[in-house]
A and B are shown apart, each in its own frame.
Chain A
Amino acid sequence: MPRERTQVSRRGFLRNAVKGSAAAAATACAAVAAPPEANAFQRPPKPLPSDAVGLLYDSTLCIGCKACVTACKEVNNMPPDIGPEQQAWNGVPGNPTWDSPVELSAKTLNVIKAYSHGTGEKKDSAENGHAFIKRQCLHCVDPSCVSVCPVSAMTKDAATGIVSHNPDACIGCRYCVLSCPFGVPKYDYNDAFGEIKKCQLCKQRLAKDELPGCADVCPTGATLFGRTEDLRKEAKRRTALKPGEVTHFPRGDINGKVGGARSGHDATVQVAYQPHIYGETELGGTQCLAVSAVPFDKLNLPTNVPDNGYPTLSEGIQHTLYAGMVGPAVVFAGLAYLAHRNTKDHTDE
């Protein structure tokens, strides 16, 4: 009977469909779970933009004066940040004037933090010493915050590579805050109309050929502005220096162009640098780099991170599954075929 045959063939079809999808699922699982070097899903890492600019922070040169923190507040019109445990300056309740940020926040785009151990007396020593670290957006080559933003509010400039944020587009989902491997973008939870805030490398000043606020005021050249490629070379030069060597440390722009030429200084290297340049390889590299004599994990920077940015994986998975929407379209066609056949049987109930 024709009816019977339909039944049989449909069962066969379903059986095959189940078998087929099981095989496909098994293949997909194998591909997904494979170790990174054999990962079918990972997309290629992004290259450094042609005119990438950034900062080189040298912890051994930093004297912890925090002039950069103040300058950053001034040039970016950021409000003072007073922690809940801090007393108001001059004892004026509700009207404190003492800016004392201890961490990056929606009010603080740049902060100097101190590492201290034991007696803390020896500068740039992990044992019984202290060291400084500057925290601000590192302007990743392959930024997670840009990858996750659903409404293109977080963008990376194609030429300079500066990662900036547009609050008028932003929906405030805070996926950028969640995803940033370095804990940089911040939201203001105490504001009914809070915004995401992060360092944008003073792009408004760079447009006027002025230095980013922090590099402009740094008295020792601990924060140095420049093209990322030049900064990488300079960082390599410094990490190769031996204690006792006398060398020159530039100040302002490494090429003396942006913000005008500044005189640097000559100094004797006191402590051996860590061989690693922070930001050279981390998560696909960052445009802002750091060198230090104290290991970076002691400075509370994430060190247990892969050499490829996380977007290589998440975007890889997503764009493999949804390539050209072919997969969903094929699945939809199959589902629609089955639903069409089967609802016919059900409607005459």
Chain B
Amino acid sequence: MSVHAHQPHGHAALGGRILTLPFLVCSALVVLAGYLLVQRYVYGLAAVSNLSDGYPWGIWVAVDVVIGSAFGCAGYVMALLCYILNKGEYHPMVRPAVLASLFGYGLAGLAVLVDLGRYWNFYHMMLPWYAQPNSVMLEVGLCVATYTIVLIVEFAPAFLERFGIEGLRRKLNKVLWVFIALGVLLPTMHQSSLGTMMVIVGHKLSPLWQTQLLPVFFLLTAVLMGFAIVAWESVMASLNFKREMETPVLRKMAGLMLVVASVFVALRFVDLLWRGQLGTAFGGPSSGWFWVETVLMVGGLVLLIPKANRSRSRTLFISASMLLVAGILYRLNVYLIGFTPSVGPWHYFPSVKEIMVTVGIFALEVALYLVFVKKLPVMHAEHPVGVPHAADAKHG
């Protein structure tokens, strides 16, 4: 079925038709979002969004950037496991994860340009004489921009293999460790800072979420959502592309998800208790959302406690989905649902057009992913090529 012969590095393009139904649906959604964006740039933000001075940040920030970049943490956690903790068995999952991250972050960047009210000045973020070192956002912005470049470099071997640029590939491989180290450091920095960004809103964020531990919780959800998206994508890919599941690896990763989710839930309650806000969880404003988030998180982790469940693809899929939604909801709660403007009353619910722009951005991500895995050696070749896996041999 593969158009391209197996590449000598253990990855292969999936091949197959590009113009499939999912691809066409995604493309149509992208075109619609493009049309709406013309309105946004001609008439201003209010023409397509329900943004206001009470809610200056809506779903374009909360969903596209804050949640979208957490989806992009697949590459982060896989690089961490594979290259830093030297768990070679995760190797087959690194490249698809890095690709997903590349799109996740690239499109978060695109969403920023949609949301910025004075987008033509965006490059001021990069100019030292404009820099304002107290701004958490400056750190996030610079860090994310650098990380996107790192992801491109991390993914470059796939391009170089595809187009047979062997010399450059070897040279890049020699220095790739620098980029791998950066690829773990940078998300650790900006994912935690995404949490720190909301510390300054103070009393406007419900005490259920307002804590100095925000950076810790955001880092934990980044790691958790990174794992969950890898598990989720593996199951989806095996269903849609009729590939074998990476079951033994997924089983181990499920154990890690269980640990991270448990730490998150435990720390959440310790934090509430410490700040004397546990009562707010019972009947306080927005407490319903706190429980939806917590129940999903606990449900997802409980499913993973029996070891047998971790190798069942159905259970793993349900658990990963629950943990993913719990992470999404946690971030949405911090950035939108738990937020109350100081001098109100204000209301916010995204407009249909606003939602369609977000949908279009995610659709672009999916469409590009489909093209890339079919045309470039991203997925691990199913039948190992002659040479045994060095990492497997070492650990075996």
The residues of A with any CB-CB pair to B shorter than 8 Å are 10, 14, 25, 28-29, 32-33, 39, 41, 104-106, 135, 144, 146-152, 167-175, 177-183, 186-196, 283, 300-302, 304-306, 310-311, 313-315, 317-319, 321-322, 328, 331-332, 335-336, 338-343, 345-349
- Are A170's CB and B139's CB within 8 A? no
- Among B82, B124, B141, B192, chain A packs the most CB atoms within 10 A around the CB of B124
Contact of B124 among A171, A180, A283 (CB under 8 A): A171
Contact of A315 among B45, B134, B185 (CB under 8 A): B134
- Are A343's CB and B176's CB within 8 A? yes
- Are B181's CB and A332's CB within 8 A? yes
B88 close to A (CB within 8 Å)? yes
What are 23 A-B pairs with beta-carbon distances under 8 A? Answer: A32-B216, A33-B211, A33-B271, A151-B131, A152-B132, A171-B117, A183-B53, A183-B54, A187-B56, A192-B42, A193-B44, A194-B118, A302-B343, A306-B202, A310-B202, A311-B134, A317-B199, A339-B84, A339-B178, A339-B184, A340-B181, A342-B83, A348-B390
A238 to B391 alpha-carbon distance, docked (Å): 78
- Among B83, B138, B212, B215, chain A packs the most CB atoms within 10 A around the CB of B212
B213 close to A (CB within 8 Å)? yes
Closest to B124 in A: A151
Q: Which chain A positions have C-beta within 8 A of B124?
A: 151, 169, 171
- Are A345's CB and B391's CB within 8 A? yes
- Among B56, B180, B181, chain A packs the most CB atoms within 10 A around the CB of B56
Given A171-B122, A172-B121, A302-B343, do A328 and B88 touch, yes or no (CB 8 Å)? no
Q: Which chain B positions have C-beta within 8 A of A331?
A: 185, 188
Q: Which chain A positions have C-beta within 8 A of B46?
A: 189-190
Q: Which chain B positions have C-beta within 8 A of A178?
A: 56-57, 201
Rank and list the top 9 A-B pairs by shortest CB-CB distance, nearest first.
A172-B117, A172-B118, A183-B343, A174-B56, A189-B46, A335-B181, A150-B138, A336-B181, A177-B56
Q: Which chain B positions have C-beta within 8 A of A171?
A: 116-119, 121-122, 124-125
Known A-B contacts: A189-B117, A310-B202, A335-B180. Give 14 more (CB < 8 A). A33-B213, A151-B125, A167-B118, A172-B118, A173-B116, A174-B57, A181-B342, A192-B44, A194-B44, A194-B45, A302-B342, A339-B178, A342-B177, A349-B91
- Are A152's CB and B130's CB within 8 A? yes
Q: Which chain B positions have C-beta within 8 A of A168?
A: 121
Closest to B133 in A: A319
- Are B84's CB and A338's CB within 8 A? yes
Using a Cβ cutoff of 8 Å, how many contacts connect chains A and B?
229
- Are A317's CB and B215's CB within 8 A? yes
Distance in Å: Cβ of A48 to nearest Cβ of chain B = 19
Distance in Å: Cβ of A39 to nearest Cβ of chain B = 8
A342 to B395 alpha-carbon distance, docked (Å): 12
Q: Which chain B positions have C-beta within 8 A of A301?
A: 343
Q: Which chain A positions have C-beta within 8 A of B389?
A: 349
A299 to B145 alpha-carbon distance, docked (Å): 44
Contact size class for B?
A: 35 or more
Closest to B176 in A: A343
Closest to B42 in A: A192
A168 to B130 alpha-carbon distance, docked (Å): 11
* B residues 103-152 touching A (CB-CB < 8 Å): 115-119, 121-122, 124-125, 130-132, 134-139, 141
- Are A181's CB and B135's CB within 8 A? no
- Are B212's CB and A149's CB within 8 A? no
Distance in Å: Cβ of B227 to nearest Cβ of chain A = 17
B368 close to A (CB within 8 Å)? no
* B residues 347-396 touching A (CB-CB < 8 Å): 387, 389-391, 394
B9 close to A (CB within 8 Å)? yes
Q: Which chain A positions have C-beta within 8 A of B213?
A: 29, 32-33
Contact of B136 among A148, A169, A194, A346 (CB under 8 A): A148
Closest to B86 in A: A342
- Are A183's CB and B83's CB within 8 A? no
- Are A346's CB and B390's CB within 8 A? yes
Given A300-B343, A314-B196, do A14 and B85 touch, yes or no (CB 8 Å)? yes
- Among B173, B180, B343, chain A packs the most CB atoms within 10 A around the CB of B343
- Are B267's CB and A29's CB within 8 A? yes
Distance in Å: Cβ of A175 to nearest Cβ of chain B = 5
Closest to A179 in B: B200
Q: Which chain A positions have C-beta within 8 A of B226?
A: none
Distance in Å: Cβ of B343 to nearest Cβ of chain A = 4
Distance in Å: Cβ of B385 to nearest Cβ of chain A = 9
B51 close to A (CB within 8 Å)? yes
A340 to B56 alpha-carbon distance, docked (Å): 44
Given A151-B132, A306-B202, A338-B86, do A187 and B387 touch, yes or no (CB 8 Å)? no
